[in-house]
């Protein structure tokens, strides 16, 4: 059996300090017959950075690997966020908002829009595009019992959350989750969602982006 773990450089010295009681972990860590220590660099090598575009396509997701950024700043929570997204999808019968709200925000960006999804628009999309029935009368997503959990999936900050609320409580999706979604086969965007995106496109360029995205997905009757 092989056990792989990380430990800060100063920690073994603390574990093998003088006096009693003495932590036996420190002795084990310095036993060459039991442990092979590998010193990790605090930055990515040039070879590792060159391989990055083969695996990560989202520019925002690739930011932590820019020169001068330590490896510890990378988006390590991504596997946990992906797992939470899948768990939300599996529990959609009991908690429909948990699965539908992230899907609605992801689809919002898939339409070609680059602006966050307003929560009031998200609520309408859930009711009319994703067929989510409210568990109680409500006028906004924040007041819906089933919906309040979704923006909090994954943590309290944007870097560690599936969704986060920005300016005017508009919903952003985690950049790495957006990148992950692009590498999977997401379901087709509902027709009402396309129409809503077109109605809320703020500029002519945004309208063109929605139209181009619709054409690329063979949604030509919008």
User: How many Å apart are CA 191 and CA 193, to the nearest integer?
Assistant: 5
CA 146 and chain centroid, separation: 20
Q: Is the pLDDT of residue 140 over 60?
A: no
Q: For residue 210, what pLDDT band results from cuts at 50, 70 and 90?
A: very high
| pLDDT single digits (tens) 48-91 | 778 878 887 777 666 666 665 555 455 556 777 888 888 888 88
CA distance 179 to 53: 12
Reported as a single tens digit per residue, the pLDDT across 9-24 is 677 666 666 655 566 7
**pLDDT 10s digits, 79-92:** 778 888 888 888 87
Question: Which runs of consecutive H residues, i.e. helices, occur in 52-110?
Answer: 59-62, 78-90, 96-110
pLDDT score, position 61: 67
Q: Lowest mean pLDDT of 83-97, 122-136, 199-213, name the range.
A: 122-136
Average pLDDT, the chain: 75
User: Rounded distance, CA 2 to CA 76, Å?
Assistant: 22
The answer to whether residue 112 scores a pLDDT higher than 80 is: yes
């Amino acid at each position: 059996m092989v056990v792989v773990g990380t430990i800060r450089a100063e920690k073994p010295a603390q574990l093998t300090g003088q006096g009693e009681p003495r932590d036996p972990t420190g002795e084990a860590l310095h036993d060459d017959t039991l442990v092979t220590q590998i010193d990790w660099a605090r930055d990515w090598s040039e070879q590792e950075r060159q391989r990055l575009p083969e695996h990560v396509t989202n520019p925002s997701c690739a930011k932590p690997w820019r020169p001068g950024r330590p490896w510890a700043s990378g988006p390590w929570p991504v596997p946990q966020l992906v797992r939470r997204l899948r768990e939300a999808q599996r529990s959609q019968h009991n908690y429909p908002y948990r699965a539908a709200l992230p899907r609605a925000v992801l689809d919002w960006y898939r339409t070609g829009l680059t602006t966050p999804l307003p929560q009031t628009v998200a609520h309408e999309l859930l009711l009319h595009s994703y067929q989510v029935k409210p568990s109680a009368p409500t006028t906004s997503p924040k007041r819906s019992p089933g919906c309040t959990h979704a923006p909090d999936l994954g943590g309290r900050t944007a870097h560690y959350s599936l969704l986060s609320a920005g300016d005017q409580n508009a919903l952003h999706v985690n950049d790495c989750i957006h990148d992950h979604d692009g590498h999977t086969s997401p379901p087709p965007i509902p027709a009402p969602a396309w129409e809503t995106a077109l109605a809320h496109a703020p500029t002519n360029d945004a309208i063109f982006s929605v139209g181009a995205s619709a054409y690329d997905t063979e949604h030509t009757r919008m």
